[in-house]
Amino acid sequence: MDIFCKIIKGESPCYKIYEDDDVLAFLDISQKYFGHTLVVPKKHFANTLDCDDEILKKVILATKKIAKHYVDDCGVSGVNILNNNGKEAGQMVEHLHYHIIPQGKECKGKEKMDFVEQQKILKLN
Ligand code: AMP
C-alpha cells in the first residue's frame, strides 16, 4: 500500500487542509516551500492518465478551490499547480496527487514554519 493510501486510511499522520467525500488535501512533508499542499483522491489511482474521469474532475475542482482559498483568503500572491505522471517524469509516490505551491514574497522565509502553524493559516475545512 502506498503512503497516501495509508494517510487516507488514518494509518499514517498528515496535516490536513481540506477533506470531502472523495478528496483529501494535506501539507507536503518536504518543507521546501511554505504551504506546499498535496491533493489526492481517496480512491487509489496511480496518476492522472490512470484516473476515472469523474474522480479526476473532483480532484481538479478541489485543487482549484484550495488554490483559490490560498490566494483570496490567505494572503498568497500566486500558486503553482503541478502534477507528475510516471517515474521518468519525477513521480515518486504512485498515487495521483496535485501539488499546490504558494508563491510570493509573503511566503519567503516561511518554508520551515511549524506544520501546525502552516495548517492554522491555510486550513479550508
Ligand atoms: P511526486 O514527486 O510528484 O510523486 O511528489 C511526491 C511528494 O510526496 C513529495 O513532494 C514528497 O515530499 C511528498 N510526501 C512523501 N511522503 C509524504 C508524507 N508522508 N506526507 C506528506 N507528503 C509526503
Burial code (b: 16+ CB inside 10 Å, e: under 16) for 85-101 equals: eeeeeebeebbbbbbbb
Residues 82, 125, 115: CA angle, nearest 5 degrees: 65
What percent of the chain lies above the pLDDT cut of 90? 100
Q: Is the CB of 93 under 6 A from ligand 1?
A: yes
How far apart are alpha carbons 92 and 48 in whole angstroms? 14
The CA dihedral of 56, 61, 62, 65, to the nearest 10 degrees, is 170
pLDDT computed for residue 76 by the predictor: 96
Give residue-wise pLDDT tens across range 77-100.
Answer: 999 999 999 999 999 999 999 999
Give residue-wise pLDDT tens across range 15-44.
Answer: 999 999 999 999 999 999 999 999 999 999
Entry pTM: 0.98
What percent of the chain lies above the pLDDT cut of 70? 100
Q: Identify any residues that bridge with 27 across adjacent strands, giving them in sequence order.
A: 37
CA of 1 to the centre of ligand 1 (A): 15
Q: Is the CB of 90 under 6 A from ligand 1?
A: yes
Q: Are 3 and 12 in contact (CB under 8 A)?
A: yes
Q: Is the CB of 29 under 6 A from ligand 1?
A: yes
Grid cell locating 66: 484550495
CA of 82 to the centre of ligand 1 (A): 13
HEC string of the chain equals: CCHHHHHHCCCCCCCEEEECCCEEEEECCCCCCCCCEEEEECCCCCCHHHCCHHHHHHHHHHHHHHHHHHHHHCCCCEEEEECCCCHHHCCCCCCCCEEEEEECHHHCCCCCCCHHHHHHHHCCC
